[in-house]
Amino acid sequence: MENKKCTDINILSYFASLRHDSERKCPYCGCTHTVLYGKYNGKQRYICKSCKKTFNDFTNTPIARTHFPDKWESFIRCTLKGLSLKAAAKEIGVSYVTLFYWRHKLLSALKMVKQNKMQGKFELYNFI
């Protein structure tokens, strides 16, 4: 993925790969004791042996609980092109209101990514 432009990224594959880059962890408790738990609407489900909660590859991502996960890639391309929500809605084939909520999910996720990069202890030394 390093050599690809943002517009070339397959968003669904990217979010799925985030969950599998290292050990599969429960998004609720962080435990690594998870097992396959069937499929729902074609998406693989997992269950955590520790907290007994189920999840899929898109849990805790902007795509979670959206009805058109296959259209997110087009939405992000339209966003990167600078299209308005109305123009993007017409191009993608979903309602303006749907894209309004998606935009807020995307911005919220980007905000969290930015915050996560700056966690932990920092020390600053100033030499005069």
Residues in the chain: 128
Query: Residue 111: CB partners within 8 Å, gap ≥ 6?
Result: none
Distance from C-alpha of 127 to C-alpha of 113, rounded to nearest angstrom: 32
Q: Look up the pTM and report it.
A: 0.64
Question: DSSP letters of 78-100?
Answer: HHHHT--HHHHHHHHTS-HHHHH
pLDDT band at 16 (very low <50, low <70, confident <90, very high): low
69's tokens:
């996960």
Q: What is the pLDDT of residues 44-97, one digit of tens each?
A: 999 999 999 999 988 888 888 888 888 988 998 898 889 999 999 999 999 999
> Domain spans of the chain?
20-58, 61-116
